Structure 1
């Protein structure tokens, strides 16, 4: 049963990020090179990458997924299952795979919001976007503490907080694209 769990968690955790890679990035060698070259310390170097790269959000997301989940995924091959403390009906491997998926999408969204904020950091809106990225990153990270808590269904609260933060970030991205008339120019 551990092999089924391993592959299920593997595809859940890395499925979205691999789909984006193979459907959009892998088709262009320049995009692959940009993605690989954008791995660095996260929040501190976003500003520098803003000046240099356009696909670094994917690189952040990929490295975050690999670093945070790969050792736990390998552990899932062993005998037995570790259960999540706050959701005893779910394995820790499954809950961590869900968190990995959410964080991979969050890192891409945060990069887009941060870049928009960096490009207009002298305005109130730009500073608000940068502040949102920093504080929502802290919020989503600290929300994962619910997984190891004694709070009933804490893993659900953790995932829900991550999804809400992702939805707000994506709404901000859509608003920014619409306000720049990007969507109308590229859909016609």
Structure 2
């Protein structure tokens, strides 16, 4: 039973991200490089958050303190990664020109939304991995949660929250990069603020003396509501319109009918 729970929660959390990686990134070496680089920048933000948490001794026991600064450092390193990508544009174009035989397309460089999507997905995958790796390790046994009064929905809630964070980081990356490219700075606090909001709502999942029962739905429902909102904003930021979406759906419907 614990093995089934492990694989079920793993595929819930990382199944969509794995599919996106296989079908949109894995065949392009340049996208793989950007994905790994963005994941590394997320690790740097985690390192800085850990150093800050360790340095401020009186606040180590306050989970909200560490969470708040973790979000701040993540958004700071998202900005630094954006600056690094833009400064490396000329070099990336040269790589694409000399690597055409290796299927490295220059379109990835000129279409900045692709790089934003890839970097956001790398950010999200690394965030999800560090959020869930210890939980997944506990799922394989020898027992399972819920025996000593813990919620039996802990693993499932953790899996769905991890998936929401992966998708949100992907959408946040597109919106964030597009806002900087077009100087639409109003979207920057929207990304940072929504990131902070959803992160703070996860504090409701913590058991305390005043709240012995975690409120998972209070964090999961707003998270997926935000996934829909940010998905729509990211689609529009990438140049998508309702007309294009209808045309795409119609085209896919016709192709399936022919097959």
Number of equivalences: 182
Structure-2 change in CA distance of 1:33 and 1:157 (3 Å): same
Q: Distance in 1 between matches of 2:166 and 2:187?
A: 19
> Structure 1-normalised TM-score?
0.84
Residues 131-183 of structure 1 deviation map (CA, whole Å, 9 limit, x = unaligned): 011010001111112222538672112111111111111121223234799x5
Kindly tell me: are residues 146 and 59 of structure 1, through their superposed partners in 2, closer, same or farther at Cα, counting changes over 3 Å?
same
2:174 and 2:189 mapped to 1: Cα distance? 13
Structure with the greater alpha carbon radius of gyration: 2
Residues of 2 paired with 1:130 and 1:2: CA distance? 42
Q: Which moved more, 1:132-141 or 1:39-48?
A: 39-48
DSSP-derived class of the 2:121 partner:
helix
Alignment of 1:58-137 (within 5 A): 58-83=121-146, 88-90=151-153, 92-121=154-183, 126-137=184-195
* Runs of at least 5 residues in structure 1 that lack an aligned partner in the other structure: none
Q: Given the alignment of the two structures, is residue 169 of structure 1 paired with residue 201 of structure 2, yes or no?
A: no
Gaps of at least 5 residues in structure 2 are 46-73, 87-114, 252-259
Q: Deviations over 1:65-85 (max 9, x none)?
A: 1111111101111222224x9
Root mean square deviation, CA, Å: 2.9
Does 2:216 align with 1:155? Answer: yes
Give the TM-score, by structure 2 length: 0.63
Moved more, 104-113 or 42-51: 42-51
**112-121 or 133-142, larger mean C-alpha shift:** 112-121
Q: Does 1:146 align with 2:200?
A: no
